[in-house]
Structure 1
Amino acid sequence: MIKEITVRIPEYSRPADAIYIKAIRLAVDEALRQFVDRIENPSAPWEPEVFRTIGRGEANEGRNLDPLQTAMRLGARVAWRRLTEQSEHLGLTPQHLYDLGEAIFVYLDQLADAAAEGFEEARARAAGEIERRRRRLMDLLLSQPAASPDAIADLAKASGWRLPRTVAGVALDEHSRGYRPPSLPPDVLSGLDRPGPCLIVPDPNGPGRAQTLEAGLRGWKAAVGPAVPLAAAATSLRWAREALDLHRRGVLTEERGVLRCSDHMATLIVFKDEELVSALTEVRLAPLAHLRPSQQDRLAETLLAWLRHGRGAGEVAARLHVHPQTVRYRLRQLEELYGDQLSDPDIRFELEIVLRARRSVSSGTA
């Protein structure tokens, strides 16, 4: 049996490894001992632990169960061949051979089941340990101040996680928790059980990465932070959470399921310090304060279009879908209200900031 196994199964062919050959011999001896004991005493208890241990060993070696199952079948074939060769000498009748053959097949199934139990147990234990290490790795990546690069590299290696050049933090809306778990590649670090559920995506700008995220997060409301170096993972996640908060408030909208910070950076910057923006708004829009709200809206809309798209009445009119004469009239009003301020590039810049913020809050668009 040992010769057949070591010759015909490459995974077990280690002629120079005396310890490995000894392990195979012990496994074969145990299999034969238990089989013979069972024939002698059919009511003897089944002792599967040795074969569970063998299954665990296969998992720890990084193999699947195919080589082990092949070895078991080879061993059974050798046993059957030897029995048939010696049947006349042993005085075995055809019925004896039939009964022995059936017993071998039943026993072979039991061996395979015990090995499979041990194999799955080891796999589950290894997966659990990897998951624990990855949760710890996520803690390190999101810690403030940042953990040392060496500590991150060591834990990443132990977790089987390849260090990427860039990462992106992904903030998940906790109200989406009841939906199915995200279906994402194994290199995405998951923190679904954190107080603020999140992900860390390696190399977010890699080929097909955006489409994979869209598909994997279907049904979830999520915001993807900008791509940053590994040491800035916490910063990327912070931006993603701020974007998700602006989405909840209606400031940022996105028809797709996944909101991307890179598409809304200007709005995120504007809303970074809302008190400061409010103070600036009060100063820069003071000339409009005495007007009716509807007049304020029309003039603010016209002024923003003029600042963004040039000073030609025709182009502004096309953007606003109104008659050019209407735009000229509004622009004259604005010149009367603001005077020389509209000639100052710094004031024009500040006006665009506050008008963009005003539009985002009032219309829910970014």
Structure 2
Amino acid sequence: MTAEASFPARTRPDQNPWAHIPSELAEHIQPHLQPLAEEMIAEIQSQVREYSRGDGPYATMLRTIVERALQHFVDRIASSGGPPDSEFFQTIGRGEAGEGRSLDPLQSAMRIGGLVAWRRLSENAYDLDTRVIAALGEAVFLHQNEIAKSAAEGYHQARAAVAGEMQRRRRRLLDLMLTDPSAGPEAIADLAAAAHWQVPRTVAAVALDIRHQDTRPPAFPPDVLSDLSRTQPSLIIPDPDGPGRAQLVDRALADCSGVIGPTVPVTEAARSMQLARQILQLVQRGVIEAHGVVRCVDHMSTLILFQDETLLSSLAELRLAPLAHLRNSQQDRLAETLLAWLQSGRNANEVAMRLHVHPQTVRYRLRQLEELFGDQLLDPDLRFELEIVLRARRLQQGSSSPSGAGSGEGHRAVSGEVITFRRY
């Protein structure tokens, strides 16, 4: 491009470079756009691997971008500025995101194209005023920066939209898997494919308690299905027994309370969640002590004990009736001794070690128990029932509410009902 005349620089109070470029310069640049476009395309293809092929979608898109960018640049000179072609280049960015490609090749192509354009313009602008040349150079790189910014905006908008849609699909998948009765494997597989979630062989459900979570929500590995917005925040962990998975889960749940249900087939995730929530209720009541992540498999016997607390209370009333007339402190000492005796194979010395008391004290208490319970202690079935209610009693005492302290009773709310356990 050769300008046949020098154009006086126009000055405006703003520092917009377009204001200092003569609009007539557009007429001199226009005939040279096609050769310039070809040179820019060739340079980009030689330096950016993704555009190195002379055909295909990348090459077609490259030509469209280069020609559109050059024409819009000339149009902006003719109009002494004007807004950048934001919508077009946002669309280009969204297209890159939609195809799953990185934005790096496009941004590299734009930088290379800008350098080539400025090189050719500066070589042929020797008879222009220096202030015009400076403004022209600034306009070239401002134009390149604006279209690169627009492409990036479109790209990130599309990525955010895709991520949001994937998250919604994964939440629907989690809902489907936690439905009772459970969904069939075909329905799970179809929604999993739409959510880009690989269906594992086994899963474990996690019931979370984040009521007192003051920090930001915990971050989980990308293959974990999560929904913290539910009334009962929930997770589904794929392949929970795989190598390193236990440590990974422990780290993810380090800052919140959670109970991991048993490992089950994918179609039984709802059952795993049901058991996890039941254990979580016992944790919240203090029946089960929580030290880090709680796993259902470590507390199944406790869960069995508390499946029907009304029945458990009735059994305790029946089997511990011999203690009912004693003072609370006597009840506690004898119940503790009897449980230790049953658990230690009825060995008085081991009971003494467990309770940290003198063996003679244990023998004295055992004689009291023999007088109170009589032949019941000789019956294996009755001893089994005694151990059940004594284990439950010990757990209940650890979770007694302040309202029951000193009253001889501990009150527990279960499924909206208040169940009363008498102390014996």
Note if contact 2:205-2:262 (Cα within 8 Å) is conserved in structure 1.
yes
Residue 219 (structure 1) shift = 4.1
Matched, 1:351 2:362: no
Correspondent of 2:134 among 80, 92, 98: 98
Correspondent of 1:50 among 60, 76, 88: 88
Residue 104 (structure 1) shift = 1.1
Aligned counterparts, 1:326-337, within 5 A = 326-337=361-372
Aligned counterparts, 1:84-123, within 5 A = 84-87=122-125, 91-92=127-128, 94-123=130-159
Letter of the 1:81 partner, please give it.
R
Tell which deviates more after alignment, 185-194 or 338-347: 338-347
Matched, 1:10 2:49: yes
- State the match for 1:249 in structure 2: 285
Letter of the 2:42 partner, please give it.
K
Letter of the 2:327 partner, please give it.
R
Gaps of 5+ in 2: 1-39, 401-424
Three-state SS of the structure 1 residue aligned to 2:211 is: helix
- State the match for 1:38 in structure 2: 76
Q: Deviations over 1:58-98 (max 9, x none)?
A: 2122233211110001111221232244345xx44555443
Q: Deviations over 1:159-205 (max 9, x none)?
A: 12222232222222252355421122122222211121222222233
- State the match for 2:267 in structure 1: 231
Correspondent of 1:75 among 110, 113, 134: 113
Letter of the 1:11 partner, please give it.
E
- State the match for 2:231 in structure 1: 195
CA distance in 1, matches of 2:264, 2:355: 37
Q: Deviations over 1:134-154 (max 9, x none)?
A: 111011110111111111112
Three-state SS of the structure 1 residue aligned to 2:218 is: coil
CA distance in 2, matches of 1:127, 1:218: 26
Structure with greater helix share of residues: 1
Aligned counterparts, 1:1-366, within 5 A = 1-17=40-56, 19-87=57-125, 91-92=127-128, 94-173=130-209, 175-176=211-212, 179-256=215-292, 258-364=293-399
Tell which deviates more after alignment, 230-239 or 94-103: 94-103
Three-state SS of the structure 2 residue aligned to 1:272 is: coil
Gaps of 5+ in 1: none
Three-state SS of the structure 2 residue aligned to 1:183 is: coil
- State the match for 2:5 in structure 1: none
Note if contact 2:316-2:389 (Cα within 8 Å) is conserved in structure 1.
yes
CA distance in 2, matches of 1:20, 1:179: 45
Return the index of the structure with the highest Cα Rg: 2
* TM-score w.r.t. length of structure 2: 0.79
Note if contact 2:204-2:272 (Cα within 8 Å) is conserved in structure 1.
yes
CA distance in 2, matches of 1:15, 1:148: 49
Note if contact 2:84-2:147 (Cα within 8 Å) is conserved in structure 1.
no
CA RMSD of aligned residues (A): 2.1
Note if contact 1:310-1:316 (Cα within 8 Å) is conserved in structure 2.
no
CA distance in 2, matches of 1:166, 1:358: 36
Tell which deviates more after alignment, 266-275 or 35-44: 35-44
CA distance in 1, matches of 2:139, 2:108: 18
CA distance in 2, matches of 1:298, 1:127: 60
Letter of the 1:82 partner, please give it.
R
Q: Deviations over 1:105-160 (max 9, x none)?
A: 11111011101110111011101110110111011110111111111112112212
Residue 52 (structure 1) shift = 0.5
Q: Deviations over 1:261-288 (max 9, x none)?
A: 2222211111011122122212222232
Alignment coverage as a number of residue pairs: 361
CA distance in 2, matches of 1:199, 1:178: 19
Note if contact 1:174-1:196 (Cα within 8 Å) is conserved in structure 2.
no
CA distance in 1, matches of 2:164, 2:274: 28
